[in-house]
Each structure stands twice: as C-alpha cells, then as structure tokens.
Amino acid sequence: MSSRSSDRRQRQEAKPNSVVVVEATAVSPGMVEAFARLVPQLSSSSPGPSGADLEEIVSSPASVLLIASDASGDIVGSLTLALFRVPTGVRAWIEDVVVDEAARGAGAGEALVMAALARAEAEGAKSVDLTSRPSREGANRLYIRLGFEARQTNVYRYNSER
C-alpha cells in the first residue's frame, strides 16, 4: 500500500463519523425526493433527476451512485463515480458531489470521496479524475486534503447549444 493511501485510510479511521455511505442498487421514492433537494445545491439550473434517470445511473455498469445517509437514515449527500475502460486502462471520474447544506462539515463529503476512491481502486483504476471550479472553495479544499493534485492540462468543453 502506498504511504498516501495508508495516510488516507488512517485519517478515515480516525474521524468519528455517523455518516454511512452505500452504493445505490435500486431507486426508492425517498431517493427521488432527496435528489430534488440536493441537485439544486449543486447546480441552480438543473432540476433533480427523475426516478427513471436515477434508474439509468444505478443500472449502468459505467456509473456507481453513492449515497450518504446520517444516523437517522436520511439521505444527506451523493456522489456519482463514472467508470469505463479505454485503450490505456480503466478511467474513473468523480462527478456531482453534493452534501445537503444542513449536513455539511460532518464528514459526509469526505466519506463519499473515500468510498469512491476505494471503489475505483477495486475496479482497477490507477487514478481518479475530477474537475471543480475554483469558486467551489470548500470542495477544492476537501479534494486537496484527501490527496488530489491539480494537473496541468487544458479542460475543454464543446457546447452543442450555441
């Protein structure tokens, strides 16, 4: 085990944390309600996903939907891990990390990211990528604290709606 992943695991074990992270394998009405609350906190222009949208994420081999719940079982956050094979190996991308404003600062974000890193490693991904706007200060601090490093690369986007 690399010293960095050992450090990360020790930090995870050291943090008392009542947040539980599980991979969603089915979609419940409670999940649809939770995403309607969470997604606008990530992107004000995006409505929450429908049950069918969530079903598509959950049933796809290319995506893992992680759900964080508090001690009373309420959904407080989510993260989606995209996993796919390309000629150079297994790629893993973390997307749509969000924790309900009322539940922030209790370790849910860290628990979600750590669960995604463990899952990506188990799937054979040698690295995990994500992007985060600099204005997302809390998120950027969290990723750096957990061992992510900024890459020198250009990030491009082609918008089909011009």
Q: Kindly tell me which residue out of 21, 54, 106, 117 binds ligand COA, with binding defined by CB under 6 A.
A: 106
As to burial, measured by CB atoms within 10 angstroms (0-12 exposed, 13-18 middle, 19+ buried), residue 73 is exposed
95 has which bridge partners? 80
Phi-psi region of 23 (alpha: psi -120 to 50; beta: other; left: phi over 0): beta
- HSE-up of 82 (CA within 13 Å, CB side)? 10
Q: Smallest gap, in angstroms, from Cβ of residue 136 to ligand COA?
A: 4
Q: Smallest gap, in angstroms, from Cβ of residue 13 to ligand COA?
A: 15
Give 17 or 91: the residue with its C-beta nearer to ligand COA: 17
Q: Kindly tell me which residue out of 30, 47, 124, 138 binds ligand COA, with binding defined by CB under 6 A.
A: 138
Stretch that binds ligand COA, among 49-57, 81-89, 119-127, 133-141 (CB under 6 A): 133-141
Give 98 or 125: the residue with its C-beta nearer to ligand COA: 98
Query: Taking the alpha carbons of 112, 79, 99, 113 in that order, is the dihedral positive or negative?
Result: positive
- Asked whether position 16 contacts ligand COA by CB under 6 A, the answer is no
